[in-house]
């Protein structure tokens, strides 16, 4: 696709603007980025021209790429599309983006500002083009801005452009100042928005049909002009008035019935990107019910809206409206809401103003204030100064200053950053942003689990009790003790080793040893980036008789999950350390460090037979509940149920069993009351079991 080549080159050139590469380095950088057929073509090309490589410029390199991947017939097709492009059913913003995209392929047709502006105007809908042409506008940016303003003012709830009557421009009557707004004189030189006055033109009716860009008439759907078919049934041979399928007119619905069908609303700005493109909006931080939020003053919104996220944060009670509200977005999507928040307290410079708003999903804004709310306070919006002035009375006014337009951040390479920071007059800063509203969940926050907080301790309480199963190490006949010197460790690992030895001694998991056995120590990084101390029991495992206790097949475990829709996953804390070692076998677990000679009195990580023995223990503990509502695989427990009520009982049974057996779980690795759970490399839902995509991503890629 030649467009991909164009985007690839533009991406490289944006990097080159920052790094200031020479032509040679630019070409080398581009060569490193080539893959597949492009790399084969490049290698083949230079193998036949070894002497030209040193003298090649970046411009010549781009011309070669365009000649290869941007052939003449494609350029001709792009030129045809560019010349034929019209706005049609697009918004002005969508039309301008498509014109810019196609224009990047035929820049020779719009090599001046005037040509680009003229081509943009030619493709606009006639009603918008006439309004734009009536202003003395020279630059392309001004033409686009004016067209967007006209487009926004003509749009209605169905997302289509309506045709209002062209405004009559008075030629002799001077504009009279508003007598009830003395503060206007102070702002007379600023561009302002005022609420609608009595003498202003009222908006067009909501049932006005869209104007077709092909035939110029107002109708819905596809244009059938010139196709010699009936406009009603779309079949040839007769006209609409003679159509046999034509329905008789239905009696007009009563006003009350029409109102019950749902109200219409529109909002064209629901994210920051749309706000940047819309000149009739202003955004900034504001206080709502004592909580800072991000609000938008939008002169094009028909209603005020508040986000669901904001409602959850401020905790107000919602009202169910009698009639649902259908909201049309700029994308053409329509959403329906029947929830409204009344009497929200808006704090602007210490003054409390009330507002009611419908609840919808919004990503970038917490609150959108509509035109009627702005009219109530006779708002003046000065776009240049980013200021909104609200008049509470003739002598009482408050001002709100919005945030400035976003600008793209300036980015430099790491190499250039290091070079700049080496200078004495330059300082570097590391900025970290933390959401204070996010709080780590605790066992007290989870139903049922809050009754078993002692099952989720931060640390193990000490040595485990005597259990049904005891860990033994049976050696092959004739086996002799093996001892190895400690491994070398980095200073950080030595510090971690010393810390963990002290913790194990305190818990009673290890004790000093004089055994002839000895194994070296190493560390393995866990998922949470902490270090797990493991002993290299390779020689001991080689001499150990293997335990044949079977581990369950994972696919057999999942066969029990049919019909389950609620899940909880429990991960035991240091599961292996919950089993004692047979006294006669303790000496065989000895490990050597620079801080001493120690032996385990509980089952350590790294010894063979540990998974089988621990699986044996867990099967004995949960024997009554296996294949009913519990799945156990070594130290992972899955509780599954067919309803919320069942899950309460099942979860309580499992946690009671863990408490009774003094088996403890790590809360940060547990999950409760889930509809979807990741377990043993699979994703489990009420619909079934499938492989976890993250586990096979490396194979697929």
Give the model's pLDDT for residue 206.
Answer: 39
Tell me what percent of the residues of the chain surpass a pLDDT of 70. Answer: 73
**Cα dihedral 223→228→230→233 (10° resolution):** -80
Give the lowest-confidence range in 298-312, 452-466, 569-583, 649-663: 298-312
Look at 518 and 461; give whichever has higher pLDDT.
518
Confidence of residue 640 (pLDDT cuts 50, 70, 90): very high
Whether residue 374 contacts residue 322, with contact meaning beta carbons closer than 8 Å, is answered with no
Give the model's pLDDT for residue 168.
Answer: 37
pLDDT at 316 over 90: no
Across all residues in the chain, what is the average pLDDT? Answer: 76
Where do the DSSP E strands lie in 273-423? 281-288, 291-298, 305-307, 319-328, 334-348, 351-360, 367-369, 380-382, 387-391, 397-401
Rounded to the nearest 5 percent, the helix, strand and coil shares of the chain are 35, 20, 45
Selection from 288, 268, 419 nearest residue 353 by Cα: 288
In eight-state DSSP terms, residue 475 is: B
In eight-state DSSP terms, residue 107 is: G
Helix axes 126-133, 140-154, angle to 10 degrees: 130
Per DSSP, the three-state class of 345 is: strand
pLDDT tens digit string along 509-543? 999 999 999 999 988 887 777 888 889 999 999 99
Which two three-digit tokens encode residue 668? 């940060």
pLDDT tens digit string along 321-354? 877 887 776 555 677 888 888 888 888 877 888 8
User: What is the C-alpha separation between 696 and 701, in angstroms, rounded?
Assistant: 9
User: What is the C-alpha separation between 102 and 81, in angstroms, rounded?
Assistant: 7
pLDDT tens digit string along 485-503? 999 888 888 999 999 999 9
Domain boundaries, the chain: 75-154, 260-401, 491-693
* Mean pLDDT value across residues 290-312: 80
User: What is the C-alpha separation between 693 and 676, in angstroms, rounded?
Assistant: 14
Terminal-to-terminal C-alpha distance of the chain: 22
Whether residue 297 contacts residue 281, with contact meaning beta carbons closer than 8 Å, is answered with yes
pLDDT tens digit string along 238-257? 666 566 655 444 444 444 44
Confidence of residue 437 (pLDDT cuts 50, 70, 90): low
Tell me what percent of the residues of the chain surpass a pLDDT of 90. Answer: 16
Whether residue 518 contacts residue 592, with contact meaning beta carbons closer than 8 Å, is answered with yes
Give the model's pLDDT for residue 435.
Answer: 65
Confidence of residue 225 (pLDDT cuts 50, 70, 90): low
Its sign, for the CA torsion 69, 73, 76, 81, is negative
Give the model's pLDDT for residue 300.
Answer: 66
Give the lowest-confidence range in 122-131, 457-466, 504-513: 122-131
The helix (run of H) or strand (run of E) holding residue 264 is: strand 263-266
Q: What is the pTM of this model?
A: 0.43
Equal CATH topology for 260-401 and 491-693 = no
Whether residue 600 contacts residue 578, with contact meaning beta carbons closer than 8 Å, is answered with no
The class of domain 491-693 in CATH terms is alpha beta
Residue 239's contacts (CB-CB under 8 Å, 6 or more residues apart) are 230
Sheet holding 630-633, edge to edge: 630-633, 636-641, 566-571, 671-674
Which two three-digit tokens encode residue 391? 């008049």
pLDDT tens digit string along 80-99? 888 888 888 788 888 888 88
Whether residue 106 contacts residue 82, with contact meaning beta carbons closer than 8 Å, is answered with yes
User: What is the C-alpha separation between 697 and 477, in angstroms, rounded?
Assistant: 46
pLDDT tens digit string along 149-208? 888 776 644 444 444 443 333 333 333 333 344 333 433 343 333 343 433 334 434 344
Where do the DSSP E strands lie in 361-485? 367-369, 380-382, 387-391, 397-401
The helix (run of H) or strand (run of E) holding residue 525 is: strand 521-525
Whether residue 62 contacts residue 93, with contact meaning beta carbons closer than 8 Å, is answered with no
Task: Name residue 580's beta-bridge partners.
Answer: 602
CB-count exposure of residue 132 (10 Å: 0-12, 13-18, 19+): buried
Q: Which of the residue ranges 10-14, 104-108, 144-148, 187-191 has the most confident prediction, judged by mean pLDDT? A: 144-148
Decide which of 3.40.50.300, 3.20.130.10, 1.10.10.10, 2.40.70.10 is the CATH code for 260-401. Answer: 2.40.70.10
User: What is the C-alpha separation between 326 and 265, in angstroms, rounded?
Assistant: 6
What DSSP line would sit under 85-104, residue for residue? Answer: ---TTS-HHHHHHHHHHHHT
What DSSP line would sit under 134-189, residue for residue? Answer: TS---SHHHHHHHHHHHHHHHB-TTS-B--PPPPPPPSSPPPPPPTT-GGGGGGTT
User: What is the C-alpha separation between 629 and 611, in angstroms, rounded?
Assistant: 22
Confidence of residue 50 (pLDDT cuts 50, 70, 90): low
The radius of gyration computed from the CA coordinates of the chain, to the nearest angstrom, equals: 37
Give the lowest-confidence range in 67-71, 119-123, 533-537: 67-71
How many residues belong to the chain? 701
User: What is the C-alpha separation between 642 and 647, in angstroms, rounded?
Assistant: 7
Give the model's pLDDT for residue 270.
Answer: 52
User: What is the C-alpha separation between 325 and 338, in angstroms, rounded?
Assistant: 6
* Mean pLDDT value across residues 553-575: 84
In eight-state DSSP terms, residue 445 is: G
pLDDT tens digit string along 641-692? 999 999 999 999 999 999 999 999 999 889 999 888 888 888 888 888 888 8
Give the model's pLDDT for residue 592.
Answer: 92
User: What is the C-alpha separation between 165 and 170, in angstroms, rounded?
Assistant: 15
User: What is the C-alpha separation between 544 and 23, in angstroms, rounded?
Assistant: 66
Sheet holding 682-685, edge to edge: 677-679, 682-685, 688-691
Residue 244's contacts (CB-CB under 8 Å, 6 or more residues apart) are 233, 238
Residue 259, CA atoms < 13 Å, CB-side half-sphere: 5
């Amino acid at each position: 696709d030649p467009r991909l080549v164009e985007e690839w080159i533009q991406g490289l050139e944006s990097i080159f603007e920052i790094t200031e590469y020479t032509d040679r380095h630019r070409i080398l950088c581009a060569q490193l980025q080539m893959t597949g057929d492009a790399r084969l073509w490049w290698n083949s090309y230079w193998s036949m021209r070894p002497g030209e490589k040193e003298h090649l410029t970046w411009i010549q390199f781009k011309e070669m790429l365009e000649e290869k991947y941007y052939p003449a017939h494609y350029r001709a097709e792009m030129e045809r599309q560019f010349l034929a492009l019209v706005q049609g059913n697009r918004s002005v913003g969508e039309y301008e983006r498509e014109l810019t995209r196609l224009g990047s392929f035929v820049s020779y047709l719009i090599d001046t500002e005037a040509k680009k502006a003229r081509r943009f105007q030619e493709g606009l809908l006639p009603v918008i083009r006439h309004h734009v042409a009536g202003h003395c506008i020279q630059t392309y940016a001004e033409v686009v801005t004016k067209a967007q303003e006209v487009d926004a003012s003509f749009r209605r709830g169905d997302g289509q452009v309506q045709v209002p009557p062209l405004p009559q421009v008075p030629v002799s009557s001077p504009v009279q100042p508003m007598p009830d707004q003395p503060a206007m004189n102070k702002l007379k030189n600023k561009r302002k928005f005022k609420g609608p006055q009595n003498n202003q033109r009222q908006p067009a009716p909501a049932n006005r049909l869209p104007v077709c860009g092909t035939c110029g008439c107002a109708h819905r759907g596809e244009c059938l002009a010139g196709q010699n078919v009936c406009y009603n049934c779309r079949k040839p041979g007769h006209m609409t008035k003679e159509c046999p399928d034509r329905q008789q007119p239905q009696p007009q619905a009563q006003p009350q019935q029409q109102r019950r069908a749902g109200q219409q609303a529109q909002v064209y700005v629901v994210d920051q990107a749309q706000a940047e493109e819309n000149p009739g909006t202003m955004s900034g931080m504001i206080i709502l019910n004592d909580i800072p939020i991000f609000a938008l003053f939008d002169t094009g919104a028909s209603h005020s809206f508040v986000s669901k996220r904001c409602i959850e944060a401020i905790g107000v009670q919602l009202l169910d409206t009698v009639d649902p509200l259908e909201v049309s977005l700029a994308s053409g999507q329509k959403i329906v809401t029947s929830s409204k928040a009344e009497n929200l307290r808006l704090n602007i410079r210490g003054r409390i103003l009330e507002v009611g708003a419908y609840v919808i999903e919004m990503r970038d804004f917490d609150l959108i204030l509509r035109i009627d709310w702005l009219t109530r306070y006779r708002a003046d919006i000065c776009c240049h100064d980013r200021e909104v002035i609200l008049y509470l009375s003739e002598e009482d006014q408050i001002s709100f200053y919005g945030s400035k337009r976003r600008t793209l951040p300036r980015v430099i390479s790491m190499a250039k950053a290091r070079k700049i920071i080496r200078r004495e007059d330059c300082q570097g800063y590391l900025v970290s942003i933390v959401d204070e509203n996010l709080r780590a969940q605790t066992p007290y926050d989870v139903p049922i689990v809050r009754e078993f907080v002692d099952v989720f301790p931060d640390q193990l309480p000490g040595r485990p009790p005597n259990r049904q199963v005891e860990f033994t190490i049976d050696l092959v006949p004739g086996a002799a003790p093996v001892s190895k010197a400690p491994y070398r460790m980095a200073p950080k690992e030595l510090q971690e080793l010393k810390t963990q030895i002290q913790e194990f001694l305190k818990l009673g998991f290890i004790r000093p040893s004089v055994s002839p056995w000895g194994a070296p120590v190493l560390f393995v990084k866990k998922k949470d980036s902490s270090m797990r101390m493991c002993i290299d029991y390779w020689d001991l495992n080689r001499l150990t008789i293997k335990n044949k206790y079977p581990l369950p097949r994972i696919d057999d475990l999942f066969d029990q999950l049919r019909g389950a829709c609620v899940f909880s996953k429990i991960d035991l804390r240091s599961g292996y350390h919950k089993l004692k070692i047979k006294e006669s076998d303790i000496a065989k677990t000895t490990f050597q460090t620079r801080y001493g000679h120690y032996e385990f009195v509980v089952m350590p990580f790294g010894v063979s037979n540990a998974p089988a023995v621990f699986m044996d223990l867990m099967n004995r503990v949960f024997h009554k509940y296996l294949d009913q509502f519990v799945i156990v695989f070594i130290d992972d427990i899955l509780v599954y149920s067919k309803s919320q009520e069942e899950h309460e009982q099942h979860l309580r049974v499992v946690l009671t069993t863990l408490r009774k057996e003094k088996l403890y779980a790590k809360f940060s690795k547990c999950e409760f009351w889930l509809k979807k759970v990741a377990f043993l490399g699979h994703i489990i839902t009420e619909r079934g079991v499938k492989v976890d995509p993250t586990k096979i991503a490396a194979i697929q890629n």
